[in-house]
Amino acid sequence: MKASIGGYARARSIEHALSLFAEADGAGRYLAGGQSLVAALNLGASAGDMLVDISGIEALRGVRIEGDRLVIGALTRHSEIERNDLVARHVPLLAKAAPLIAHDAIRNRGTIGGSLSHADPAAEYPACAVALDAIFNLEGPNGRRDVAASEFFKGLFETDRAEDEILTAVSVPVAQAGERHAILELTRRSGDYALAGLAIVVRGDRHRIGAFGLGDRPLLCEGAMAALDRGDVDAAATAIADDVDPMSDIQASADYRRHLAGVVLRRLAAELGVAR
Amino acid sequence: MTIRFEDPNRPNSYIGRTVPRPNAGRLVKGRGRYVDDILLPRMVHVAFVRSPYAHARIAAIETSQAKSLSGVLAVFTGRDLAEVCTPWEGRLAHLEGMKTPPQHPLAVERACWVGEPVVAVVGRTRADAEEGAAMVEIEFEALPAVTDIRTALDPETPVIHEAFGDNLCFRKTNEKGEVDRIFAEAHTVVEESFKTARHTGVTLEPRVILADWSEAEGEMTVHVSNQAPHMLQVLLASHLGIPESGVRVICGDVGGSFGVKVHVYPDEVATAAIAKILGRPVKFSSDRLEAFTSDIHARDHEATGRIALDETGRILAFDVDDWTGIGPYSIYPRTSAVEGLQVTNLIGGPYEFDHYRCRTSVVFQNKGICAQYRAVGHPVAVAITEGLVDKAAAQMGLDPVEIRRRNLIRDDAYPRTTAAGLKLEALSHHKSLDALIEAMDYEALRSEQASLREKGVHRGIGIASFIELTNPSPFMYGIGGARISAQDGCTVRMDPDGSVVALTGVTEQGQGTEAITAQIVAEAVGVSPGMVRIVTGDTRVTPFGGGTWASRGAGIGGEAALQAGRAVRGQVLAVAAAMLQANAKDLDIRDGIVVDAGTGAERMPLAEIGRIVYFRGDTLPKGLPRELMQTRHFLTSDYPYAFTNGVQASYVEVDAETGFVKLLKHWCVEDCGRIINPLLVDEQIRGGIVQGLGAALFEEICYDEAGQLLNGTMADYLVPMSGEMPDMIIRHVETPTAESELGAKGAGEAGTAGAPAAVMNAINDAIRPLGGSVTHMPFTPERVLRAIGAIGK
Ligand SMILES: Cc1cc2nc3c(=O)[nH]c(=O)nc-3n(C[C@H](O)[C@H](O)[C@H](O)COP(=O)(O)OP(=O)(O)OC[C@H]3O[C@@H](n4cnc5c(N)ncnc54)[C@H](O)[C@@H]3O)c2cc1C
């Protein structure tokens, strides 16, 4: 099938992108790395889009420290996250997550902003963002605003971002001394979307767990988090069955995914040395 | 003079060596020329409107909107094309009682599966054609869909083709001996049910055809990604009413076929018919979704089987009831009954026993058409056989190797005819098993397994012996009336400078036909392979042949090439003898030079012979034959098929908490007779194993109960990928066939035949202590976990 698009324009700046989007009169669609959008266009999932290519906008690039936060530009590619020193030092979770995403060719093009905006419930970054308590910086025709990761994901491929808003950056608290991050997923083949996965951040004696592949959006697993805070892994493994809300599809049933969530949780707890 | 294959130091000893593939460099440089790369003047594109229903009556078709688009040139319905193209029926006369209705290039009256082409839209570009296709309005009246195999023949189930009265396409029982008595009296009887999942070939290059009709010359030229050009030539000629000589089918580079591209497809015939109507080149290039809905599927089998043994673990009998769903039509011209038929022939194939029953029931469904795909029927039969053998071994407390040693047909017991009626020339099951045991260090692996088990690590070893049908004679299709050639031919020509061109009827799909043909011709004539150019896949110039199927390229096409090359050598030496006033039998050709056979002393380069024959023939004795171009054809006749044999082993680790199976290592010992190019054979085996591993762990075409395809993309249909593939150790035993001088049998399908069974047995070996077993492929982590009861049913 041939992708059918209404048009294409390359934005020079955020303002330019916003005005191009406005001109598109409802048919606008931002294009970043294209690794989800182009596949969808090729499947005919969407037709007639006026593509506003934001991949050349300098302001959306770069990784920098701002106070006690690491700010990651939306256009930062998965392969850059994998190799970036600041990310490795301050948000090791993302450095550990990036190699789990797809394959080299896709990681070389796909962007973190694209992944978060696309909001695939089985994707790694959205769950990491939730576990990290990240804040998303958005910019739209009406100005800028910030949204907490836990507020951003609304449902299957649905977010709080308005159609015309650009996700400009994601801002993450830098890891404190002794803070530990871990991510584990189960996939049929390496690079596939996860059947079930968890991302954990241990900050002091508090745990934050983001689940992926286990619901219609990345989920914060509060029951399991509370149990882990108490050092009770068994209770956490039981609680996570209620924290998650997986769907059945041809790859796996909801029951099986729920079971996997418990297994993944125990394995992560063992990796992090959480007391039983 | 015969070739002393046993002597690796003989002159021109190219057969048996790893030589580079002549086409590899070109393909790696991106200079391949696939059908979609071909652009012709005045070329237009066709896109198909395909049925969104599994079963529906076509009440009305509205095409005027589509026709009004500026990029759309024409729109055709089933009725339009029925005017220029006759329908076909995939039936073979020797398959008694087989039923299948006429099939048209575009559905007429009814659509019978999701993806069946209904309307063809021709546009200036593919995008134009697609835009037009989106504007075609078809009024469908949904009909009940038949999707389940086991209930397809129940009286309550709707009948897909009313005139037949039921949904049975074909049924056959192969029976010998006293099966019921043996099972009633046997010391041990073991039963099991099996499922092999419906899957498809997933060729890297999808199906593509570019057809051009020249009214002035009365000639149809078809560039197509196909593995049987002559078959397509005669069938297009017959259905489009053109003399066979007026149809030229060209198969250049083909990006994989695996059996997917050996069939007649409605969309491809429609493209040719449209070219004939429009009188201009028309291209159809299938996209990936179309590939999943319209390429042939295969292996949709459900079976129950039992095995009877005496108290010593000797196998007495097999009894299997196999069911398979093939979609709404039997494939043309090979039929969709052959897969089931092979199951009835191949169960128990490696073993010695006297009592046998296997029935196959081939039923119609409203799903994609199933047909021949790499190792037709073998993976099904091997899984059933080896699953039963292993289950019996476990029940009797026998080691899986030991039960096979006791029951495999002895290596000195040939020729023989099996209980299933297969004629076997010479096989090497025991030698192969010995080689396997040594290659894998079986005892060490068993003790590693035992010690790891104590630590809670669940590893398993699975073994699967198998036989594989290769080098088919006309007994497979020809006797059933199909115009599918079992013979093949090769023309070898020496050019004036002594270089050689060989034109062969077998085809290159990426498997290395051109490489082995060059080696054979080089050795046969006496030149280096670099001096040989191979031409394949053009019905206008190559000898009439069958192409690529049933592992026949090396065994049949290779022998024709050998004989044609030897004939040219004979002619060259006859001319040389006249020129040198020598005796031809005292001369030989080595590396392009005529030499004294005894001393190796150089007498004359081939270029000199070429110069004299082609430019100064006047200096040769009048009447001296000097045809430096010779054609030979070859057909097997002593045996209906040349069976090969082999044995595979798989070593896996099962994660008892998640059900995930990790493939740790895989071994295959294979006997394909004479090996022409060891590296190519190894890679064929490896590639075949990978497809078998896909069957075992990943691949499954899923439909819902209404016949809707659930996984039509590469994201949902999981093919095996390198990351999950184990190291593979390949070993060979060589038992050449005496049917030919070359002695080669086929090697292309053996890997696929045995791998799924080996993995199944390995998983079951691993999880047996946990209770439960798996026999329904693919063995997804969830199925494995449910089998061991770690989550509820
Ligand atoms: C074979 C394959 C396997 C994959 N496997 C995985 C996997 O295992 N895990 C995983 O997480 N992902 C996977 N992906 C998806 C990949 O990570 C994509 O890169 C990512 O989902 C989208 O990023 P992108 O930059 O490519 O965005 P695009 O495809 O360009 O855009 C995606 C969507 O986000 C919107 N968008 C993009 N950037 C912005 C922005 N800055 N502001 C507002 N809207 C924006 C677009 O309008 C579009 O709707 C896979 C992709 C492929 C092709």
Give the nearest partner residue to A255 out of B713, B715, B791, using CB atoms: B791
Q: How many domains would you assign to chain A? A: 3
Kindly tell me if the per-residue pLDDT of A153 is higher than 70: yes
Where does a domain end: A154, A173, A192?
Answer: A173
Distance of CA A123 from the midpoint of ligand 1 (Å): 9
Can you give the pLDDT at residue A47?
A: 86
First and final C-alpha spacing in chain B: 67
Domain CATH number, residue A18: 3.30.43.10
Judgement on whether residues A66 and A169 belong to the same structural domain of the protein: yes
Give CA–CA dist B290/B281, Å, rounded: 21
pLDDT (average), residues B406-421:
98
Full 3-state SS string of B526-538: CCCHHHEEEEECE
On whether any CB of chain A is under 8 Å from the CB of B714, the answer is no
Same domain, A65 and A166: yes
As a whole number of angstroms, the distance between CA B378 and CA B356 comes to 17
Q: Which amino acid is at B440?
A: M
Kindly give the number of the ligand 1 atom that is closest to the alpha carbon of A102: 5
Residues of chain B contacting residue A263, judged by C-beta atoms under 8 Å apart: 657-658
The closest-lying atom of ligand 1 relative to the alpha carbon of residue A124 is 11
Cα separation, B220 vs B245, whole angstroms: 9
Both A123 and A104 in one domain: the answer is yes
φ, ψ dihedrals at B166, nearest 5°: -155, 180
The residue among B571, B520, B788, B543 whose CA lies nearest residue B661 is B788
Q: According to the model, what pLDDT value does residue A146 have?
A: 98
Same CATH topology for B24-32+487-632 and B297-474+638-787: the answer is: yes
User: What is the CA(A115)–ligand 1 centre distance, in A?
Assistant: 4
> Cβ of A64: how many Cβ atoms within 10 Å?
11
pLDDT of B20 > 90? The answer is no
Please give the share of chain B, as a percent, with pLDDT higher than 90.
Answer: 98
- B721/A252 touch (CB, cutoff 8 Å), yes or no: no
Does A161 share its domain with A192? Answer: no
**What is the CATH code for B24-32+487-632?**
3.30.365.10
Give the tens place of pLDDT for each residue, A50-60.
Answer: 999 999 999 99
Residue nearest to atom 47 of ligand 1 (CA): A30
Residue B444 confidence (pLDDT) above 90: yes
Q: How many helices (H) and strands (E) does chain B have?
A: 19, 30
Does residue A213 share a domain with residue A164? Answer: no
- Say yes or no to pLDDT of B514 above 60: yes
Interchain proximity B780–A252, CB inside 8 Å: yes
pLDDT class of A1 with cuts at 50, 70, 90: confident
CATH code linked to domain B35-143+206-254+260-294: 3.90.1170.50
**Do A49 and A85 have their domain in common?**
no
pLDDT at B2: 83
Mean pLDDT, residues A26-49:
94
The mean of the pLDDT values for chain B is 97
Map residue B588 onto helix, strand or coil.
Answer: strand
Q: Distance from the CA of B470 to the center of ligand 1, in angstroms?
A: 47
Q: How confident is the model at residue B22 (pLDDT cuts 50, 70, 90)?
A: confident
Confidence at residue B23, expressed as pLDDT on a 0 to 100 scale: 85
Check CB contact of B417 with chain A, cutoff 8 Å. no
Residue identifier of the C-alpha nearest atom 52 of ligand 1: A35
My answer on whether A224 and A268 are in the same domain is yes
Q: Give the residue carrying structure tokens 């998983």.
A: B763
Average pLDDT (B291-309) is: 98
Is the pLDDT reported for residue B793 higher than 70?
Answer: no
**Together in a domain, A84 and A164:** yes
Do A159 and A187 fall into the same domain?
Answer: no
- Between positions 492 and 511 of B, the ones with CB within 8 A of A are none
Q: Which amino acid is at B503?
A: L
* Beta carbons of B372 and B228 less than 8 angstroms apart: no
Q: Which residue has the tokens 């729109």?
A: B75
**Residue-level pLDDT at B700:** 98
Residue A119's domain comprises 61-173
**How high is the pLDDT of residue A46?**
87
Edge-to-edge strands of the sheet including B355-363? B168-176, B355-363, B315-325, B301-309, B188-196
Tell me, yes or no, if A187 comes closer than 8 A to chain B by beta carbon.
no
Structure tokens at A125: 């970054």
Write out chain B residues lying below 8 Å of A247, CB-based: none
DSSP secondary structure code for residue B674 in this structure: S
CATH code that applies to domain B297-474+638-787: 3.30.365.10
Q: State which amino acid sits at residue A212.
A: F
C-alpha distances in Å from residue B138, one per residue of B118, B123, B141, B161, B218: 9, 19, 10, 22, 35
| Band of pLDDT at residue B1, cut at 50, 70 and 90 | low
* pLDDT 10s digits, B198-236: 999 999 999 999 999 999 999 999 999 999 999 999 999
Do residue A99 and residue A196 come from a single domain? Answer: no
State the pTM of this model. 0.97
Which of A1, A250, A253 faces B289 most closely, judged by CB atoms?
A1
Q: What is the ipTM of this complex?
A: 0.96
Say yes or no to pLDDT of B699 above 60. yes
Q: Which residues line ligand 1 (CB under 6 A)?
A: A 29-37, 39, 54, 74, 101-102, 106, 110-111, 113-115, 117-118, 123-125, 166-167, 193
Among B130, B718, B721, select the one facing A2 at the smallest CB separation: B130
How many other CB atoms sit within 10 Å of the CB of residue B122? 26
Contact A186 B702 (CB under 8 A): no
Of A135, A151, A173, the last residue of a domain is A173
Write the CATH number for A226: 3.30.390.50
Please state the domain extents for chain B: 24-32+487-632, 35-143+206-254+260-294, 297-474+638-787
The 10s digit of each residue's pLDDT in B169-190 is 999 999 999 999 999 999 999 9
Integer-rounded Cα radius of gyration of chain B: 27
Structure tokens at B444: 């060490």
Q: How confident is the model at residue A2 (pLDDT cuts 50, 70, 90)?
A: confident
pLDDT at A275 over 80: no
Contact criterion met (CB < 8 Å) for A189 and B710:
no
Alpha helices of B555-662 — where are they, by DSSP H? 558-580, 606-615
- The pLDDT of residue B53 is above 60: yes
Say if CB B264 and CB B333 are below 8 A apart: yes
Chain A residue numbers touching B791 (CB-CB < 8 A): 255-256, 259
Looking at the predicted structure, is the pLDDT value of residue B792 above 80? no
Same domain, yes or no, for A91 and A36? no
Q: Do residues A143 and A207 share a domain?
A: no
Q: How far is B367 from chain A (nearest CA, A)?
A: 17
B71-109 pLDDT tens trace? 999 999 999 999 999 999 999 999 999 999 999 999 999
What pLDDT digit, counting tens, does each position of A213-254 carry? 999 999 999 999 999 999 999 999 999 999 999 999 999 999
Please, what's the b/e burial string for A224-247 (b: 16 or more CB within 10 A of its CB; e: otherwise)?
Answer: bbbbbbeebbeebbebbbebbebe
Whether B721 and A259 lie within 8 Å, measured CB to CB: no
pLDDT digits (tens, 9 = 90+) for B517-533: 999 999 999 999 999 99
- Residue among B130, B723, B785 whose CB faces A190 most closely: B723
Q: Which atom of ligand 1 lies closest to the CA of A38?
A: 29
pLDDT of A276 over the 60 cut: no
